[in-house]
Structure 1
Amino acid sequence: MTRRVSVFLVALAAFMIFEWINLAFNLADGHETSFYVVHGVLVAVNILLALALGAVGVRGWMRGRA
């Protein structure tokens, strides 16, 4: 994996974490419970995906240095 791809993955992971946490805080009140459950699951899954992408990116960055 090239460093360019590694940097892209880490940047994408940071953006995803920022964006989904921002969405979680900006959810308006007054919706049904199911709305919050579904969006909570979406936020959690996407943050886990972002962490996985970030880990792959960091691993690629470190291997690219050797």
Structure 2
Amino acid sequence: MSRKIAGFLIALAAFMIFEWINLGFNLQDGHETGFYVVHGILIAVNIVLAIVLGVIGWRGLRGRRSGGLGEQ
């Protein structure tokens, strides 16, 4: 994985975490319970995806520095 792609994945992960946590704080009262359940699930799933992308990007950067992934 190139350094640019790994950096992009890390930046995307950071943006996703910021955006979805911000959305969670900006939800206002007055909606039905189903609204909050659906958005809570969306927030949780997207934060997990962001963590996975961040780990992949981080491993890509670390593997690139140590000679590449899969090289023996």
Query: When the two structures are superposed, what TM-score results if normalisation uses the length of structure 1?
Result: 0.99
Equivalent position of 2:5 in the other structure: 5
Aligned-residue sequence identity (percent) comes to 67
Q: Secondary structure at the match of 2:28?
A: coil
Structure (1 or 2) with the larger CA radius of gyration: 2
Distance in 2 separating the partners of 1:61 and 1:32: 44
Distance in 1 separating the partners of 2:16 and 2:62: 22
Amino acid at match of 1:55: V
Higher relative CO (Cα under 8 Å, sequence separation at least 6) belongs to: 1
Amino acid at match of 2:64: G
Equivalent position of 2:57 in the other structure: 57
Per-residue CA distance 1:3-27 (angstroms, 9 max, x = gap): 0000000000000000000000000
Distance in 2 separating the partners of 1:64 and 1:15: 23
Structural mapping, 1:25-64, within 5 Å: 25-64=25-64
Q: How many pairs does the alignment contain?
A: 66
Moved over 3 A (4+): none
Per-residue CA distance 1:29-51 (angstroms, 9 max, x = gap): 00000000000000000000000
List gaps (5 residues or longer) in structure 2: 67-72
